[in-house]
Structure 1
Amino acid sequence: MHWFYLAIAILSEVAASTALPAAQGFRNPLPSLAVVAGYATAFYFLSLTLEDIPLGVAYAVWSGVGLALVSVAGWVIYRQSLGSVEIAGILLIGLGIIVLKFGGGH
């Protein structure tokens, strides 16, 4: 169940981060509300994961998957470029997450 909570935390953080450009410095109300609600939800569910998953592992997975998904969201939604170096970095993060998930007994 704690990995499910971590997935909710990640998706909430990705939604909030993706809404940040549209919030325009918190001048645009609806995206601003999405940012605040998304981050609040992300930190709440991240805190629940810490009952079972060590902080370092949970945070590494949360930030790594979040970084990769936000990069893809920026590419899809905001047409930001992803070059070969960025793609390679995202793949390496993914490999690190697999090692953490399956190599550490959690």
Structure 2
Amino acid sequence: MKYFTVEIGGRPIACFRSEDQEDAEHFFEAEDFREDLTVMLSDGKPLWDGLATLNLRDATAEEQREVDQAYEFDEDLPKEADDEFVVFLVPVSDPADDTDDEE
């Protein structure tokens, strides 16, 4: 398992695990993932404006620890899962989650 970090405009935003570089790039380039980045908010603003440069790089040791720690404490995931598990490195909120609570 390898670890990768997504940067937006040079700022590390999210980190995830993937089997290899090819799988990581496939996930990173997926329309759904990129759309999520335009919907999710940090400090009241979208994570990505659709214009800033997106970059995928190898994660640092500290970023890897963030993913491992979050994965270890996520009770919703089966521990044998090999799927990408995204950990945001900045505070985020999803407006869709807020509307679900109000219904």
> Which TM class, normalised by the smaller chain length?
under 0.3
> As a proportion of its length, which structure holds more helix?
1
> As a proportion of its length, which structure holds more strand?
2
TM-score when scaled to structure 2? 0.24
Structure having greater relative contact order (Cα 8 Å, sep ≥ 6): 2
TM-score when scaled to structure 1? 0.24
